[in-house]
A and B are shown apart, each in its own frame.
Chain A
Amino acid sequence: MSTARARTANTRASSHCNATIVPVLKKKICLLGSYGVGKTSLVARFVHSMFTDKYHTTVGVKIDKKVLELEGAELTLMLWDMAGEEDGVPVRLNQVKDASGYLLVADGTRGRTLDIARDIQRRVEKEVGVRPFLLLVNKADLRDTWEIPESAWGELADSGWTVLETSAKSGERVEEAFLTLSSRMLNAPADDDDDDDDDD
């Protein structure tokens, strides 16, 4: 991946009173995919550098924040860790509307989760619109037992997808994934993501 390493800081509240003129940006990223693929773990690894093997299903949505400096801007990432999709209960996409980009997450050891990720991506394009995204095939630490065949990689590359093999457990390529997506969001054609509020 081409993204330059960025200095990341895990601050709870970003300081807005910098003397130098540093653009302060706030961007929303949604994590989408089947349940149990490791979305929560990827966020925990990226934000808190933590990993636990214990599975805890995400209810509704869980929002985390990470402030980082990227390409000369201070960027606050709002990470929306959405409840995983499961059979009969498709993930709700209305929260993706104001997102600047999203991460599709699949579990390498469960081939079906790749199909679900593809399906979610199609629905996002259709119902919400085009946003920068990456596909993360997680659980790279169990690579020996992956079900996703090698042939899938070629097909995905042909469709112009960027695929990263990540491991929330070891941390492999996790930071790179978030930074790559952030960089693409910053360089994407500007959409109206100002958070001002008109009033009555």
Chain B
Amino acid sequence: MTTTTMMTTTNEPIDLFAAFDLAVFERKKKRVFAPVGRVPDWLPVEAGPIDLGDRFPLLEMFLGELREAGAPDPLRSDLWSEPDGHGGELYLEAIGVVCEGRRFVAIRSLPQERFTYQQLAHDFELEKHKVERLSRELEIKRQEAERATQAKSAFLASMSHEIRTPLNAIIGMADVLSLTSLTPDQQKYVETFQRNGVSLLNLINEILDLSKVEAGHVQMEAVDLDLGDVVARAMEVVELRVSAKGLWLRQSIAPDVPRSLIGDPHRLRQIIINLLGNSIKFTERGGLEIRVELDPENPAPGRLRFGVTDTGIGIPADKLGVIFESFGQADSSTTRKYGGTGLGLTISKHLVELMDGRIWVESTVGVGSTFFFTAGFGVQAVQAAKTPSASAAAPVQDVPEGLRILLVDDSDDNRLLFIAYLKRTNSAIDIAENGQIGVDLFRARRYDLVLMDVEMPVMDGYQAVSEIRRIEKETGAEPTPVLALTAHAFSDMSGKGFAAGFTDLLTKPIRHATLLEAVAKYASAPIEVQVEEDMADVVPAYLEKRRAEVAVYRRALEAGDFDTIKHLAHKMKGTGTGYGFPRLTELGAALETSALQKDAEGVGKPLHEFARFVDKVQLK
């Protein structure tokens, strides 16, 4: 392009401007510029000469520079934007040219696309920053929520302790009262006590359970379980309620479902009981069925689908989602009419999720509902024969009689209650008001069972049981079953309790049947031996010496000192029957034989028997 070309009067240069889509203006006077040729439509300016500096303020300085310019180098303005008159933006740039004293300004529009990457980069940076900021906030909220949940759990734990202790006394005393002779009216009143006490206890248990699950404090056990047994035990629990309403209750386990599984039997049973209980509540006629089959959607050996079907009132479609939420019964009047807290299903949902499954319900109003849940289990290598297993709980009438029991509890009410509970067992019960007194009594006498409160003044249960275990170790005595009585349903008591030496834990409130079951499970009656009158002076000392020998035997066995064992056993073989203990003669012979053969395993068994015998024997 030459300046001469621009000066011609032909249309050529103007066509060139049009081809490059440029709006070109020439300076006429002061700041007034006249268009050269036609101004393109995209530039919103009025026709004819205009004050460019006024119309485009950004050009004001640029025009000043153009006015001063003499060199042939073109000037370039900053980029600026203008509304295009159609709701969009124009991105404009001006180029100034001085040519033989005449001054021209060419304005061009830059395509928006040239700036797209910049826009995208900014968008990206801003979004990234926003995401980072929200993540930080979320983390803070999460921590706050966690702290709140922990505070809630701590509150509930201590509250549960406070509520359970008096509730224990109320329910227990109602139980004891119901065993006395009452008029029909009184009987009715006591039953009301019992019924409401139990429902209050259930409510507390459910709230605590839900809190535990929500706080992530529930850990699933992975122990051997028998599926048929778990289902049968769940059915046992609800049987009474089913028959009271005149309903039927069936179960079916598909033949291809493995029975010997690895999982948490307690929690599985809890879910099934919750679902059965829920169905019973809403079913007036017909009945219920529980089915177990392989999960059709994921038919691996340990993946099972459970279904609890009822012929109850059904659930409207729009409420199907709500019922698994806390206190989310389909109709708020439900609580009044059918009772319950609405927490059972929420707890079940959490538990099912912990078992790597899901829970849902299919229902038709007026026809009935089926609650399904899936869960994953381990499968035991060896499958047990599919025979219905006997109930594991010992029937209450099997409780041994004439036990020697040490009861350590600082609460008058609780002591009275347990004595009442144990009345029919004709046990000899020694009472200690704190751990220290309990330990002193234990040191002086032998017991078949110790019932020990955990929280006590002077010496608490943990310390006391540790002392008892220490005494047993010293004397070589067989461990006595020591049951902890605790109102702490909610703490990590079990781990701490077992570590201290408790044999098992009973959570208050403790029902009559629960205590008797535990006694039956752990305590065995003393071995009574009739002592001849002439021997009455010497037998106790003889027995005491033998008891002291248990520790000597044990140390010798540990050291591989079979000579000492042989020597002691030989003496016992010779004297046992003479003092009225033929069993000691038998055991002495067995010990001697094994010691001669230097058979450590062979010594172990009669030694255990011997220790148990001297521990349990009671002279008459």
Using Cβ atoms and an 8 Å threshold, which residues of chain B touch A86?
122
Within the complex, what minimum Cβ distance (angstroms) separates B545 from chain A?
A: 81
With beta carbons under 8 angstroms apart, the residue of A61, A98, A147 that contacts B81 is A61
Within the complex, what minimum Cβ distance (angstroms) separates A60 from chain B?
A: 3
CA distance A109 to B132 in the complex (A): 11
Closest to B51 in A: A197
Closest to B30 in A: A199
B80 touches A60 (CB 8 A): yes
Closest to A142 in B: B133
Which positions 75-131 of chain A face chain B at CB distance < 8 Å? 78, 80, 84, 86, 92, 94-95, 97-98, 109-110
Which positions 101-154 of chain B face chain A at CB distance < 8 Å? 115, 118-119, 122-123, 125-126, 129-130, 133, 137
Closest to A92 in B: B78
With beta carbons under 8 angstroms apart, the residue of B61, B82, B126, B133 that contacts A94 is B61
28 intermolecular pairs with C-beta atoms under 8 Å apart: A28-B57, A36-B122, A36-B125, A36-B126, A55-B123, A55-B126, A58-B81, A59-B115, A60-B58, A60-B79, A60-B80, A61-B58, A61-B79, A61-B81, A62-B82, A63-B80, A80-B58, A86-B122, A94-B78, A98-B60, A98-B61, A109-B130, A109-B133, A110-B129, A197-B31, A197-B53, A199-B29, A200-B67
B91 is an interface residue with CB less than 8 A from chain A? yes
Within the complex, what minimum Cβ distance (angstroms) separates B567 from chain A?
A: 84
Q: Mark B66-86, 1 if CB is under 8 A from A, else 0.
A: 010000000000111110000
A59 touches B118 (CB 8 A): yes
16 extra A-B contacts, CB within 8 A, seeds A61-B80, A63-B57: A28-B57, A36-B122, A56-B119, A59-B81, A59-B89, A59-B91, A60-B80, A60-B91, A60-B92, A61-B81, A97-B61, A110-B129, A145-B137, A195-B60, A199-B30, A200-B67
A133 is an interface residue with CB less than 8 A from chain B? no
Measured as residues with beta carbon below 8 angstroms from the partner, the interface class of chain A is 20 to 34
Within the complex, what minimum Cβ distance (angstroms) separates A193 from chain B?
A: 12
CA distance A84 to B57 in the complex (A): 19
CA distance A58 to B122 in the complex (A): 11
Closest to B79 in A: A60
A55 touches B122 (CB 8 A): yes
Q: Mark A133-164, 1 if CB is under 8 A from B, else 0.
A: 00000000000010100000000000000000
Measured as residues with beta carbon below 8 angstroms from the partner, the interface class of chain B is 20 to 34
Interface of A with B (CB < 8 Å)? 28, 35-36, 55-63, 78, 80, 84, 86, 92, 94-95, 97-98, 109-110, 145, 147, 195, 197, 199-200
Using Cβ atoms and an 8 Å threshold, which residues of chain A touch B60?
98, 195
Closest to A89 in B: B118
Q: Classify the secondary structure of A's interface with B.
A: loop
Using Cβ atoms and an 8 Å threshold, which residues of chain A touch B89?
59, 62
Within the complex, what minimum Cβ distance (angstroms) separates A118 from chain B?
A: 19
A63 touches B58 (CB 8 A): yes
Within the complex, what minimum Cβ distance (angstroms) separates A95 from chain B?
A: 7
Within the complex, what minimum Cβ distance (angstroms) separates B49 from chain A?
A: 15
B80 touches A62 (CB 8 A): yes
Closest to B64 in A: A197
Q: Mark B24-35, 1 if CB is under 8 A from A, else 0.
A: 000001110000
CA distance A110 to B78 in the complex (A): 28
With beta carbons under 8 angstroms apart, the residue of A57, A60, A62 that contacts B119 is A57
Within the complex, what minimum Cβ distance (angstroms) separates B166 from chain A?
A: 46
CA distance A61 to B81 in the complex (A): 6
B30 touches A57 (CB 8 A): no
A95 touches B137 (CB 8 A): no
Within the complex, what minimum Cβ distance (angstroms) separates A149 from chain B?
A: 14
Using Cβ atoms and an 8 Å threshold, which residues of chain B touch A61?
58, 78-81
Within the complex, what minimum Cβ distance (angstroms) separates B5 from chain A?
A: 26
A35 touches B115 (CB 8 A): no
Using Cβ atoms and an 8 Å threshold, which residues of chain B touch A95?
58, 61, 78
Closest to A60 in B: B79
Within the complex, what minimum Cβ distance (angstroms) separates A129 from chain B?
A: 16
Using Cβ atoms and an 8 Å threshold, which residues of chain B touch A195?
60
CA distance A198 to B422 in the complex (A): 118
CA distance A63 to B92 in the complex (A): 12
Using Cβ atoms and an 8 Å threshold, which residues of chain A touch B79?
59-61
With beta carbons under 8 angstroms apart, the residue of B31, B82, B92, B133 that contacts A147 is B133
- Given A57-B115, A57-B119, A62:B129 Cβ within 8 A: no
Closest to A97 in B: B61
B80 touches A145 (CB 8 A): no
Within the complex, what minimum Cβ distance (angstroms) separates A113 from chain B?
A: 10
CA distance A98 to B57 in the complex (A): 11
Using Cβ atoms and an 8 Å threshold, which residues of chain B touch A94?
61, 78
CA distance A44 to B137 in the complex (A): 30
Using Cβ atoms and an 8 Å threshold, which residues of chain A touch B57?
28, 63, 78, 80
Within the complex, what minimum Cβ distance (angstroms) separates B139 from chain A?
A: 13
CA distance A109 to B130 in the complex (A): 9
Closest 4 CB pairs of A and B: A60-B79, A60-B80, A57-B122, A57-B119
For B30, B79, B80, B133, the residue with the greatest tally of chain A CB atoms inside 10 Å of its CB is: B80
Within the complex, what minimum Cβ distance (angstroms) separates A141 from chain B?
A: 14
A35 touches B81 (CB 8 A): no
A60 touches B30 (CB 8 A): no
Within the complex, what minimum Cβ distance (angstroms) separates B86 from chain A?
A: 16
CA distance A56 to B133 in the complex (A): 21
Using Cβ atoms and an 8 Å threshold, which residues of chain B touch A80?
57-58
CA distance A108 to B80 in the complex (A): 27
